[in-house]
Structure 1
Amino acid sequence: MTRTVHPIEQESFRILRSRLDTSALPHLHRAVLERVIHSSADLAYTDDLVADEAELTAAQAALHAGAPIVADVAMVAAGITARRAVCRLGDAVASPGLTRSAHAIRLAYEQVGPGALWVIGCAPTALEELLVLDAAPALVIGLPVGFVGAAESKAHLRASGLPAVSNISEKGGSAVAAAALNALLYTPAAAHDRKENDL
């Protein structure tokens, strides 16, 4: 998609690239990593983010073909700026053995069915619930944050074999999860010679 890039964003990416050389990374992996770092000012994601270029390419194709986007919380949905994301947290209720976030994932799956892109940036229980559904996702961006269950849920995601973007540590959050999805929306599908303002 074509978008107008604000000068502050251009300068942010210029500074990022002056501190970190990402030029050797595959096209979409580079785009996702840079946008995650841009959203967090955390260069440590360089060694923490886990993604596969072939999975990102397939997910981007599904996204541009109109696959639904599901967000675990409203902050993630609000951060996805070029497409509307489904978020059912407002309709969800907690029950014994099921958090509100996990119930929201069930409700969203009932609404969108298989083939969606799932963007989870808040609740590890939302990610764990997605992993027990037969959701056949186009991609799971699993970047929940926290000291309880976040790193473990992301390890479970990587072990599941589902196409995914995740990270190894406990950090994550709504901003970085939305940024990873936005990278797939903003980045041209074909590799090209990248200029400083290709954001």
Structure 2
Amino acid sequence: MNRVVHPIEVESYRRMRARLDTSHFPPLTRAVVERVVHSAADLDYARDLVLDEADLEKAHAALHAGAPVVVDVEMVGAGITRRETVCRLRDAESGPGLTRSAHAIRLAYEQVGPGALWVIGNAPTALEELLTLDADPALVIGLPVGFVGAVESKAALRESGLPAVSNVSEKGGSAVAAAALNALLYHPTSAEEKL
């Protein structure tokens, strides 16, 4: 099913591309970079994001084959269109040495098991907890925002060797994390391109 793109979005992308050349990026990388830049109106994301086309290709295939999508907060889930998400934050509790966000990640992993796409846009502790699990993710979109723990948790994600989309700076948040996942959802599969 093709997505109907509103004329405002078309014009917004035209203006963005007039200011930012993304033509050198491979297809899925370009899709993610452009959607993240568009969601934040922040051209610096083109230099701040860290991602790999091969990882994105595998994640795109897994996503379109029905792999579960787990989010750290409901705001990320609200931004993801065309797909149900798993968020266990309402069920989670904090305790000594464990934030509510980290507990929610544990609960989500118990529910979905390995092979999911994880989209973290809010809590660095959620990303840190995910890295302690044997989640074998299809992809981790690790874009938590903040001045405490965000940079460090994203660096740990990159060092883990897991397939990932992250960024170097403190920037991030629910909107950009959802945008990165939406880029993969919106990008056509091989079968759709043949139609």
What TM-score do the two structures reach when normalised by structure 2?
0.96
Alignment of 1:9 onto 2:9 = yes
Q: CA RMSD in A?
A: 1.0
CA contact (8 A) 1:57 1:189 kept: no
Distance 1:26 1:94 in 2: 41
Alignment of 1:96 onto 2:96 = yes
Partner of 2:142: 142
Deviation at 1:189, TM superposition (A): 3.3
Q: Percent identity?
A: 77
Superposed, which structure 2 residues align to 1:66-105 within 5 Å? Answer: 66-105=66-105
Alignment of 1:133 onto 2:129 = no
Distance 1:188 1:155 in 2: 30
Distance 2:82 2:37 in 1: 19
Superposed, which structure 2 residues align to 1:20-99 within 5 Å? Answer: 20-99=20-99
> Any idea what SS the aligned residue of 1:95 has?
coil
**Unpaired segments of 5 or more residues in structure 1?**
194-199
Distance 1:15 1:107 in 2: 42
Partner of 1:197: none
Question: What does the per-residue CA deviation read over 1:39-73, in whole Å, with 9 as the maximum and x for residues that have no partner?
Answer: 00000011100000000000000001100000000
Alignment of 1:158 onto 2:149 = no
Q: Which amino acid aligns with 1:9?
A: E
Question: What does the per-residue CA deviation read over 1:14-43, in whole Å, with 9 as the maximum and x for residues that have no partner?
Answer: 111010110110100000000000000000
Q: Which amino acid aligns with 1:108?
A: A
Q: Which runs of 4+ in 1 moved over 4 A?
A: none
